[in-house]
Amino acid sequence: MKVFSDDFLLFTRQRTGDIDSYRLVDMNIEYGAYVVDRNDTTLGQIAHIIMDSWSGEQRKFVVRLDDNVSAVYFKPEHVAEATADRVKLNLALDELERT
């Protein structure tokens, strides 16, 4: 996994035997950032950010698809790479949760 900025918060997953361990990496995805799936297909832009009301951390992101009718959700652990204006996911479009 690549992280391009110090002001991002990402979860990285490492497999140790039968146990997945998660490590928190700093990430702060912004509204309007373009999102691409693992195949570099452009999905759209971040339309909503769902925050954890207790911790204030970003929990889910909503991308309005280019058809402007449907949307997909992704979580921080689905992020493979992120810059201030672009987010690349580690999933393909058909693997994401749709509305």
Residue 22 in domain: no
Residue 20 in domain: no
Residue 54 in domain: yes
| pTM of the entire predicted model | 0.68
Q: Please report the pLDDT score of residue 4 as a whole number.
A: 37
What residue numbers bound the domain in which 55 lies?
29-98
Q: Please report the pLDDT score of residue 18 as a whole number.
A: 53
Task: Note the pLDDT tens digit of each residue in 30-87.
Answer: 889 999 999 999 999 999 999 989 988 888 999 988 776 788 899 988 999 888 789 9
Residue 14 in domain: no
Residue 64 in domain: yes
Helix (H, G, I), strand (E, B) or coil at 82: strand
Residue 16 in domain: no
Q: Which residues contact 79 (CB under 8 A, 6 or more apart)?
A: 10, 27, 29, 87, 88, 89, 90
Give the residues across from 65 on adjacent strands.
44
Q: β-strands 58-65, 71-74: how paired? A: antiparallel
Residue 17 in domain: no
Here the CATH number for the domain that contains residue 51 is 2.30.30.240
**Looking at the 3D structure of the chain, how many domains does it have?**
1
